[in-house]
Structure 1
């Protein structure tokens, strides 16, 4: 049973890696690709890395059902989306965070906003964004703590 569970987790991990590669290839070959097209799969990949790190630390295979693993991967993608929105809105800014541009532009449609409405100022900002998207999936408490800080009344 344990081998069956780990086998299915491996299939999910492989699928996430394939999705991330396809998203990268598509973004690289499309002029108006959204930055979300890369950040969401990287958040999912970060969740896979977190599960892998937990697997390596233990002596025996995990009893966690594959559905819990899939849910964790989906949450990683959602958290990277939320973190990207925090960057784009300017609610989370600083030297170690990416500087996103286009956030002040007038929105003509939701489609235009999602398809290239926001961009990065420099190549370094792109790399920061991609790294933070990976971190959002890997260290999910980081994003959840930032959200909690925003909702705390002072």
Structure 2
């Protein structure tokens, strides 16, 4: 069902789409008419992703998708990204959180000063490998006390 007719937004299809996205993405809101600013950070993030999904993309670019959200919302966003991948939507995830990359990515590309310096298969990648690639050439990783 189209959201517009003769260039004008049709309220009923718009409301149906919003209600479906709120349900599918588990956005916690008092009402469909609540302002986005009144939602928690995690629900705001899911709302933004929902707006993108309404356009039926083939690829999503997610830059720091869980920055500033609580642990529960982070888990929900991760679950959503994995579901989108299963549904055939590609997700390019940019994150400074290595555990997030390891949890979400099939392939991890490491950049340093704007250049690709390495590529790892996500499921086999280790944080230490990623950090070693990201550090300037020849610079060793600093090991904590008691580590070999």
Q: Give the TM-score normalised by the residue count of structure 2.
A: 0.29
Higher percent of residues as strand: 2
TM-score, with structure 1 as normaliser: 0.28
**Structure number with bigger Rg:** 2
Between 1 and 2, higher relative CO (CA 8 Å, sep ≥ 6) is seen in: 1
Between Structure 1 and Structure 2, the one with more helix by share is: 1
